[in-house]
């Protein structure tokens, strides 16, 4: 068991082979990591503990030995059209699996638990003001609700013991190995096809994987464990149209943007069964990260343009590989 004023000596990270996990291990080499994995992967530099599937039955005893901090990244991730099995996995992995790990960590004396949640706990779009950490939760889908339920269980575990829990709610995370809508947008811009987004004047918070990992590292390195909810984003807000322009510039392509009104785009989305995807392209989603910066003395180290440049470079490299 460690004192509140000590920096962790060994940190267990789940989801270590995933998009954020790999970036975290490679960007914070000064920290001592133990990677919780299903099976031993190739090329893993960190110490490894095989735990199998993460759910309500996972045995964490060996993985947590001599660990004084946990970074929990593993999750059943958001999908556009979730199935009944996805709904069961959100509950089994994101909720019950998180509870199982947190209770095991608290039992062995872990003092800090850092949980990667999602801004979807707050909702899908902002209107009157940016999302804040203390806003009433308003998740709109099963994934968002699973993250909220996990946060509530973690709060109850924290209240009953000495382990401090820091919850991070990021917006869309981009960087090498990004998937989903961001990768599809990269492909569309690179194709040179005209995109009907020229009239979209929304504002979106994004966060590069490097800035997200820097915040996680900040929370791990703090002399005193942090507690509470922390929103994270890059410094700059971008409209979808501006994001397309910057991607095109980095790809040395001319941005081809058609000016179709967002209401018409939303109608097209409904008619084609892609309403949720179109709404994400047209709606605003802005995070108020000032409390995170003030409480932790932290600022995002990487400018948005630099993060986009690295991501586009990775994407183009994948095409030529």
**Where in the sequence numbering do the catalytic residues fall?**
143
**Rounded Cα distance, 220 and 232, in Å:** 16
- Helix and strand counts by DSSP (H, E) for the chain: 12, 9
For 291, the token pair is 């409390």
**Rounded Cα distance, 281 and 79, in Å:** 16
Give the Å distances, CA to CA, from 178 to 63, 172, 183, 214.
28, 10, 6, 18
**Rounded Cα distance, 56 and 95, in Å:** 9
CA angle centred on 241, ends 235 and 243, rounded to 5° = 40
H/E segment holding residue 102: helix 98-107
């Amino acid at each position: 068991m460690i004192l509140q004023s000590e920096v962790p000596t060994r940190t267990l990270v789940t989801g270590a082979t995933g998009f954020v996990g790999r970036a975290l291990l490679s960007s914070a080499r000064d920290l001592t990591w133990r990677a919780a994995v299903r099976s031993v992967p190739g090329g893993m530099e960190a110490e490894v503990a095989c735990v199998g599937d993460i759910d309500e039955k996972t045995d964490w005893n060996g993985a947590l030995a001599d660990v004084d901090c946990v970074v929990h990244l593993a999750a059943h991730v958001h999908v556009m059209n979730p199935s009944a099995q996805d709904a069961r996995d959100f509950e089994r992995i994101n909720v019950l699996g998180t509870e199982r790990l947190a209770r095991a960590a608290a039992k062995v004396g872990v003092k800090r638990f850092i949980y990667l949640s999602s801004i979807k706990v707050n909702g899908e779009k902002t209107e009157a003001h940016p999302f804040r950490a203390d806003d009433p939760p308003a998740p709109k889908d099963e994934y968002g609700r699973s993250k909220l339920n996990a946060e509530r269980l973690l709060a109850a575990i924290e209240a009953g013991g000495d382990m401090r829990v820091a919850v991070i709610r990021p917006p869309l995370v981009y960087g090498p190995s990004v998937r989903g809508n961001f990768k599809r947008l990269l492909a569309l811009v690179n194709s040179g096809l005209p995109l009907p987004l020229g009239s979209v004047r929304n504002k979106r918070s994004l966060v590069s994987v490097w800035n997200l990992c820097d915040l996680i590292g900040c929370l791990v390195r703090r002399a005193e464990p942090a507690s509470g909810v922390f929103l994270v984003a890059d410094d700059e807000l971008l409209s979808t149209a501006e994001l397309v322009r910057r991607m095109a510039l980095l790809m040395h392509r001319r941005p081809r943007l058609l000016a179709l009104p967002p209401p018409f785009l939303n109608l097209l989305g409904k008619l084609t069964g892609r309403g949720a995807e179109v709404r994400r392209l047209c709606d605003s989603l802005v995070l108020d990260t000032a409390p995170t910066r003030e409480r932790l003395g932290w600022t995002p180290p990487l400018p948005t343009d630099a993060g986009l440049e690295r991501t586009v470079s990775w994407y183009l490299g994948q095409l030529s590989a």
